[in-house]
Each structure stands twice: as C-alpha cells, then as structure tokens.
Amino acid sequence: GESVGLHLPTLSVQEGDNSIINCAYSNSASDYFIWYKQESGKGPQFIIDIRSNMDKRQGQRVTVLLNKTVKHLSLQIAATQPGDSAVYFCAENTDNYGQNFVFGPGTRLSVLP
C-alpha cells in the first residue's frame, strides 16, 4: 500500500554535520528508487537514484543506501549546508514500465547555523 503521512517529519542538523534521512518503502517488487529535494515554492528536483541490484550509490556529498530486506532507503548528506534546507522525498517505481512513482511522505531538513 501507499505510505500516508499524518505530519511532515522534521530533521534539524547543525551546519557542517552529516544528515541522514530515512524512508520506508511499501512494495517489495519495486526496483528503482529516487531521492528528490523540494525547496519552498519549487517543484521536486532529482538528487540521486539507485536500482535494486545495488546497495549503495554515491554522488557529490550524497549517498543513498538501499536495504531490500527491510524495505528501507536512506539518504546521507555530508557536511550539510544551509542550501540543503528543504523537504526530501523518496520515490519508488511500482510498475514494470517505470511510469508510476509512489512518493514517500517527505522529511523536512532544517540546517541550523
């Protein structure tokens, strides 16, 4: 089933610290996952993706970890900066055609000075 959030979880971190944002996905058959960042007043922007044949993928300052056993995805942001403040969403591809992405409830990241 789809995950429905009753409220938006918030993570507050000090500037310069590492951030870890977690996501539990719903469909064990999902084979493709994407992390998006949404800044205030803007649409979601792609950060990093991972396919189910991988456990880890690294980008610039970001790392995504996938644990298929417990259907868990995490996004690690190194040396968090004020510009990282946003809402972060994980999205899972739930069909074979790559056309239905189900979004998680989102996590608001606040970077403290």
Partner 1 sequence: DTAVSQTPKYLVTQMGNDKSIKCEQNLGHDTMYWYKQDSKKFLKIMFSYNNKELIINETVPNRFSPKSPDKAHLNLHINSLELGDSAVYFCASSQPGGVAFFGQGTRLTVV
Give the residues lining the site for partner 1 (CB under 8 A). Answer: 2, 4-8, 32, 34, 36, 38, 41-46, 49, 87, 89, 93, 97-103, 105-106
Burial letters 87-110, b for 16+ CB under 10 A, else e: bbbbbbbbeeeeeebbbbbbbebe
Structure tokens at 92: 């899972």
Other CB atoms within 10 A of residue 24 CB? 12
Nearer to partner 1, 5 or 16 (CB): 5
Name which of 7 and 69 has its Cβ closer to partner 1.
7
Q: Nearest approach, Cβ of 24 to partner 1 (angstroms)?
A: 15
Helices (H) and strands (E) in the chain, counts: 0, 10
Closer of 6 and 70 to partner 1 (Cβ):
6
CB of 29 to partner 1, least distance (A): 15
